[in-house]
Amino acid sequence: MRSAARIPILLLCLLSVLTGAASAQTAAVAGPSTADKARILTYIHSNWDVLARSMSSCKSVVDSKVTTTPILYLPVGMETPPEVLSMEKECKVEVRALPRKIAHMGDVTVAEVPQEGLLYLPHPYVVPGGRFNEMYGWDSYFIVLGLIEDKRTDLARDMIENFFFEIENYGSVLNANRTYYLTRSQPPFLTSMIRDLYEHPAGKPVTRAWLARAYGYAKQDYTVWTSAPHLAGDTGLARYSDLGNGPVPEMADDSAYYTDVIRWLLAHPNVKAGYLIDGPQNPTPQEAEDLSKTSCDVRISKVCAGAWVDGHRLTAAFYRGDRAMRESGFDTSFRFGPFSGSTDHYAPVCLNSLLYKYERDMEHFALLLGRNAEAATWRRRAAARKATINRLMWNPKKGMFFDYDFVNAQQSTYNYATTFYPMWAGLATHEQAAELRLHLPLLERAGGLATSDFDSGTQWDLPFGWAPTTWLTVKGLADYGFSPDATRIATNFSQTVLENFLRDGTIREKYNVVSGSANVEVATGYKSNVVGFGWTNGVYLEMNRLLADAARRLSAASLYRNFDPEPVAYQSRIAFVPPRNHSRSHRRDRRKNPSPILSTRTDQRAMPQL
């Protein structure tokens, strides 16, 4: 009887899946109106200039993250450029030199530059927007893609030239051009930027001499990721790591973040993360000295001094992981433990996929430059990294890539959008790509691709979707021939961006892809949804081109006829259970958008075992 009773339920579940998938496909075919698309494209075209900064603009030195008087720092020994002299007078900005020459990242510490300021860059650049008023490392890749697509190649080249300047004068591609970022980088997309500019058919021609110069800078920056402290133990892989200590200064404008982390840990005593120690709120000189080793230095950091709750402080190990998380760009999620406090213990799929592509790009550049011996070296490096990634990160039973905890010698179990990076990087075999494609339903939602299937209350987990991870997934799927999946996800995310733009006239840094809304509710971490937004603008243009190319290749009818049902068949294998512990807002979202993809238990998956 029980077995017989289950049959109608399973049939209803499968019918729901098929109906929802068909509805999503119909919506994709309908598409936005020409007038609506024209409005958002016009906004993006004009927004590049709104987000542009240079050393001749007063708005470049503004930093809402700290409250100090604006200071512009020049590399030591550099003569003050004329535009900086004008800025000094017009913007009432103080111009200083860094304490000494920087050959490697970390040669000058944040403690040696106690008054935060902007780091000089010689060329104009585009910022993400809002509180992010600097040229960021990985944001810039997606911005450069948009600029090239928009035929703003001069500005795209200027940004790449700024990265060369950073490598030469600040030791590496930085997280961003502020003094408090001198100790960390961001995901390595430099060769991808160089290659897109060099090879883009609509771009302004770039000379072979420029490519040779770019190759030299990229080689120099590569060493950042293949030397300490970025080595993931003896695995041969890389990890994220920051050379600084204690809480990051840029969190001064969100003084509640670290105290929120402490409160969460106290409220969840069964989570044995080891991130808390006992500590006084107002330590004596000796206690302060002790805390500088076990936690952070209250004598030099206001953020550290305030990070105290009910006799507890965060450990120095947590702060090391917290800083590494910020280098990863994924701040914050629970991917590497609560609030990713153990990021530095992992060799991430994303970073090592990027480095594999970096090595393959360098091989390509070397061949173009006639440096065959160097090309062979880069080819061997890429092959070795690929073999190690497959050995340590590919899980054949689950058919997915997972981050590798090299401290405990085990794979993570956290489902995350970076599992698709190996497709974008060209690392995955066709068999692996086919397996990965079957797991799209774990993360795909009606409004796009969520970063994870665990709702931690932080911005880089469910229910949020972001332009960069969505684009890398879409591009990877398209490159491996899964065009219907790429088109579907690109359509849904683009529609989410467009609908919210038509509602309030803005483009945002992230979206709730469950509800399809830009109105986000983040419990801990960055709680705002910044307007701008550089990388979303760039990705929208890339997706617009991809969808236009797909439309030219196929009519709407043939696209529907060729819809591949395998993801739907996979979806039917995921258990359907009533949602548990959903907030009212999530229940509202489910009523508004009863997609079958939203009905699986992956929405409220238990927190992965730490």
Last residue of a domain, one of 172, 193, 225: 225
Last residue of a domain, one of 190, 225, 260: 225
User: 29 and 119 share a domain?
Assistant: no
Give the model's confidence band at 252: pLDDT under 50 very low, under 70 low, under 90 confident, else very high. confident
pLDDT of residue 261: 96
- Three-class secondary structure assignment of 95-144: EEECCCCCCCCCCCCHHHCCCCCEECCCCCEECCECCECCCEHHHHHHHH
Mean pLDDT of 445-451: 97
Are 127 and 51 in contact, with CB atoms under 8 Å apart?
A: yes
Higher per-residue pLDDT: 376 or 202: 376
pTM as predicted: 0.87
pLDDT of residue 29: 44
Q: What is the CA 442 to chain-centroid distance, rounded?
A: 19
pLDDT at 17 over 50: no
Residue 357 inside a domain? The answer is no
pLDDT at 562 over 60: no
pLDDT of residue 42: 96
Residue 461 inside a domain? The answer is yes
What is the distance between the alpha carbons of residues 281 and 307, in angstroms, rounded to a whole number?
Answer: 9
> Across the beta sheet with 94-97, what order do the strands follow?
94-97, 71-74, 118-119
Residue 573 inside a domain? The answer is yes
Helix, strand or coil, per DSSP, at residue 535: helix
User: 173 and 258 share a domain?
Assistant: no
User: 604 and 480 share a domain?
Assistant: yes
User: 467 and 513 share a domain?
Assistant: yes
User: 207 and 255 share a domain?
Assistant: no
Residue 179 half-sphere exposure, CB side, CA atoms within 13 Å?
Answer: 25
pLDDT at 370 over 80: yes
* Mean confidence (pLDDT) of the chain: 87
- The residue annotated as part of the active site, out of 63, 260, 327, 509, is 509
Residue 153 inside a domain? The answer is yes
Mean pLDDT of 377-382: 98
356, with CB counted inside 10 A (0-12, 13-18, 19+), is buried
User: 215 and 255 share a domain?
Assistant: no
pLDDT at 554 over 50: yes
Residue 150 inside a domain? The answer is yes
- The residue annotated as part of the active site, out of 134, 242, 322, 331, is 331
Annotation marks residue 566 as catalytic? no
Mean pLDDT of 134-151: 97
Residue 151 inside a domain? The answer is yes
User: 85 and 153 share a domain?
Assistant: yes
pLDDT of residue 594: 33
Give the model's confidence band at 558: pLDDT under 50 very low, under 70 low, under 90 confident, else very high. low
Range of the domain at 455: 12-53+439-610
Instruction: Give the number of domains in the chain.
Output: 3
Q: Of 306, 394, 323, 385, which Cα lies nearest the Cα of 353?
A: 385
User: 79 and 194 share a domain?
Assistant: yes
User: 185 and 327 share a domain?
Assistant: no
Residue 314 inside a domain? The answer is yes
Last residue of a domain, one of 346, 378, 395: 346
For 135-197, list the strands marked E by DSSP. Answer: none
Are 304 and 246 in contact, with CB atoms under 8 Å apart?
A: yes
User: 65 and 48 share a domain?
Assistant: no
Higher per-residue pLDDT: 529 or 359: 359
User: 213 and 259 share a domain?
Assistant: no
Q: Which H or E run includes 448?
A: strand 448-449
pLDDT of residue 525: 63
- Three-class secondary structure assignment of 235-280: CCCECCCCCCCCCCHHHHHHCCHHHHHHHHHHHCCCCCCCCEEECC
pLDDT in tens, 337-355: 999 999 999 999 999 999 9
Residue 361 inside a domain? The answer is no
User: 143 and 80 share a domain?
Assistant: yes
Annotation marks residue 331 as catalytic? yes
Give the model's confidence band at 202: pLDDT under 50 very low, under 70 low, under 90 confident, else very high. low
